[in-house]
Amino acid sequence: MAINKDTIKYVAKLSRIELEESTLEDFTSQIGRILTYIEKLNQLDTENTVPTSHAVELKNVFRKDENTPSLENQAALSNAPEQENGHFKVPKII
Amino acid sequence: MELTALTAHKLLKLLSENEVSPEEVASAYLKRIEAVDKKLNSFAHIDPDEVLKKAKKIKGGKLKGLPIAVKDNFCVKGQLTTCSSKILKGFRPPYNATVIDKLEQEGALILGNLNMDEFAFGSSCETSCYGPTRNPWNIDYAPGGSSGGSAASVAARLTPWSLGSDTGGSIRQPASLCGVVGLKPTYGRVSRYGLIAFASSLDQIGPLTQNVEDAALLMNIISGYDKKDSTSVNTAVPDYLKSFTGDIKGIKIGIPKEYFISGIDPDVKDTVTKAIDILKKLGASVDEISLPHTEYAVATYYIVAPGEASSNLARFDGMHYGHRTNNLKKGTDNALIDMYSKTRGEGFGDEAKRRILLGTYVLSSGYYDAYYLKALKVRTKIAEDFSKAFKNFDCIVTPTSPTGAFKIGEKTSDPLSMYLSDIFTISANLAGIPAMSVPCGFTSGNLPVGLQILGKPFDEEMLFKVTHAYQQITDWHTRVPAGCK
């Protein structure tokens, strides 16, 4: 299935990545080639195959809902581009 | 005595007997890095003063101050960790990865972080924001990737050993191309806590070393269940150093015919065939097998891995850490979304962007069944190929990579050709099984060739046993690149 520029533009929007026009062109052809290659999976009959999302069989992992020490506020904020009063600061939303 | 010429085991012996101090060892490596790494670019971050300061204080543990370097995607508290990406510029983790804690508890000295493909997206170490690492055997060639810095630094003896991460071959392929030992353990054997995630169902941490004994020693330290990683598996960890019985008589080795296809470099084929002959001479029984879904591994991987990556990399939003755009227009509608899009547009390199877009596409509404679900089903078939083979065989032997190292720049314009260089390594990640690459010779162009050995889940001991026997009667693993002597 070839992919067109508008779809790549749409996916870039979903991914929150701003792209230059020239990059958009390159990606459309490169991702198109990859998707064409991927289509080889359709040669296989998987009608009755169970999907594997995880190689090692694991049941749900539960733990007790107990309060344990976590990262200190200032440590968690130590890499923030902007912070104020112990919070991450972001551009105005409303 | 040249300290940097020694294996981890030999250095450890000297440190244990107080023949040398941790500071002397650290200084020797720092000096060598200073002299050699200008041309290799294998380190992304190193702070010599800090290393020496730590070396003075370090003592005890099983490692007695022995240095190690780690890939740039391991969180080391307070030390620059950037996944070789602009978007994590300046990031200093507020906590250690579990493997770093384990190493430091045993007295390891962390030398610094090693260059890699950006977020481990690549097979050549060329997508790093710090520029490519070069192959110590010939600096016009790529070291492989994504743990290119981890492999090149060990090959050039800039560190006695290193850690890397392997999502589709990122430890084994560069180990093969640089002539060192690289092990991807069973999924769940080593905690991934604090390893910056690429594809969470495939990522696994492992050692890159000069020889098999060193790899076993490092595995003894980093393996084991960790409550902070709920995918780590709670089974007992054996003493891997006891795997070395020296006897592989009667061990059943399968050679999958699908790994000796046309397109494989004839030098690689010859070299690997000779290595298999040696295993036969040592008494192993060798038979051809079939892993019929091998040719679908790359296609499966390039749905599953980008899908998981697109989700994992959503956290780089210019809010919590790293880069935030300076190009925000005042008073824009949707200022927040604009901030995300510009930050991510500026911060991610092209390969990271391609994979995020591809992953977002295969997971998006209307395409999920056709791509992602289909890939998960084929993943089952690939895993079943292995479980069937392991009913009759103890391990499987193949080439690690279809070619020796390729030139820097050779594959950068064609992502698909780059992806296909991982054709022999990807299946082990999809199936979750352990796999190892050991040096087994050279191409006619004097570039290293690796032998891959794959085993049953949690049977790393078999891999150690066979490769150790092989290294007892071969000396490929002792060769050091001429330019780095």
B171-221 tens-digit pLDDT: 999 999 999 999 999 999 999 999 999 999 999 999 999 999 999 999 999
Distance CA B458, CA B338 (A): 47
Residue B388 belongs to some domain of the structure: no
Distance in Å, alpha carbon of A25 to nearest chain B alpha carbon: 12
Q: Which residues in B lie closer than 8 A to residue A16 (C-beta atoms)?
A: 317, 337, 340-341, 344
CA distance B353 to chain A (A): 8
| Interface contact flag, A55 B431, Cβ < 8 Å | yes
Domains in chain A, start-ordered, CATH in brackets? 1-44 (1.10.20)
pLDDT at res. A94: 72
Residue B171 lies in a domain: yes
Q: Taking residues B376-389, what's their average pLDDT?
A: 97
Model confidence at A54: pLDDT above 90 = no
Q: Which residues of A touch B431 (CB under 8 A)?
A: 55
Asked whether the beta carbons of residue A23 and residue B350 sit closer than 8 angstroms, the reply is yes
Render pLDDT for B223-265 as a digit per residue (tens, 0 to 9): 999 999 999 999 999 999 999 998 999 999 999 999 998 789 9
Chain A residues 4-33 with CB within 8 Å of chain B = 7-8, 11-19, 23, 26-27, 30-31, 33
Residues in chain B: 485
**Statement: residue B293 has pLDDT above 90:** yes
Give A37's contacts in chain B (Cβ within 8 Å): 298-299, 302, 416
Q: How far lies B119's CA from each of A15, B160, B174, B188, B299, in Å? A: 16, 24, 16, 21, 20
Angle value at C-alpha B447, between B443 and B451, nearest 5 degrees: 70
Please indicate, yes or no, if residue B58 is contained in any of the structural domains: yes
pLDDT for B453 equals 98
Whole-angstrom Cα distance, residue B103 to residue A13? 42
Catalytic residue (choose from B170, B401, B421, B437):
B170
Average pLDDT over residues B265-293: 97
CB-based contacts of A42, cutoff 8 Å, min separation 6 = B374
Q: Do B335 and A93 touch (CB under 8 A)?
A: yes
State residue B353's pLDDT score.
98
Give the residue numbers spanning the domain of B466.
3-251+393-484
Tokens of B398: 């193949």
Q: Is the pLDDT of residue B282 over 90?
A: yes
pLDDT of B417: 83
Compare B37 and B1 and report the one with higher pLDDT: B37
pLDDT number for residue B418? 86
Q: How confident is the model at residue B386 (pLDDT cuts 50, 70, 90)?
A: very high
* For range A54-82, the mean pLDDT: 89
Quote the pLDDT of residue B459.
Answer: 97
- Chain B neighbors of A40, CB-CB under 8 A: 295-296, 299
Percent of chain B with pLDDT over 70: 99
User: Can you give the CATH number for the domain in which B152 is found?
Assistant: 3.90.1300.10
The answer to whether residue B485 scores a pLDDT higher than 70 is no
Catalytic residue among B84, B123, B128, B146: B146
Residues 33-92 of chain A with CB under 8 A from chain B are 33-35, 37-42, 44, 46, 49-56, 58, 61, 63, 71, 75-76, 78-82, 88, 90-92
pLDDT reported for residue B228? 94
- Chain A interface, best mutation among B118, B336, B377, B456, by max A CB count within 10 A: B377
Quick check: B381 and A91 CB within 8 A? no
Please count the other Cβ atoms lying within 10 Å of the Cβ belonging to residue B472: 12
Which of these is catalytic: B64, B71, B411, B456? B71
* DSSP reduced 3-state for B412: coil
User: With bands split at pLDDT 50, 70 and 90, how would you rate the model's confidence at A56?
Assistant: confident
What pLDDT score does B50 carry?
96
Q: Residue A57 has what pLDDT?
A: 75
The pLDDT-based confidence of B430 (bands split at 50, 70, 90) is very high
Contact status, residue B284 vs residue B252, Cβ threshold 8 Å: yes
Query: Which of B255, B268, B266 shows the shortest CA–CA distance to B294?
Result: B255
- The reply to whether B270 falls in a domain is no
> Which of A12-21, B332-341, B466-475 shows the lowest mean pLDDT across its residues?
B332-341
Q: Is B262 a catalytic site residue?
A: no
Annotation says B71 is catalytic: yes
Alpha-carbon distance A5 to nearest alpha carbon in chain B (angstroms): 12
What is the tens place of the pLDDT at every residue in B463-474?
999 999 999 999
| Count of domains forming chain B | 1
pLDDT at site A31: 95
Cα–Cα distance between B457 and B442 in angstroms, integer? 30
Q: Report if residue B234 sits inside a domain.
A: yes
Residue B325, CA distances (Å) to A89, B343, B355 in order: 14, 5, 21
**Whole-number pLDDT of residue A1:** 52
Res A92: pLDDT: 81
Residue B372 gets which letter from DSSP? I
Indicate whether B453 belongs to any domain. Answer: yes
Minimal CA separation from A65 to chain B, in Å: 14
pLDDT in tens, B130-155: 999 999 999 999 999 999 999 999 99
User: Is the confidence at residue A42, as pLDDT, over 60?
Assistant: yes
Q: What is the pLDDT of chain B when averaged over all its residues?
A: 96
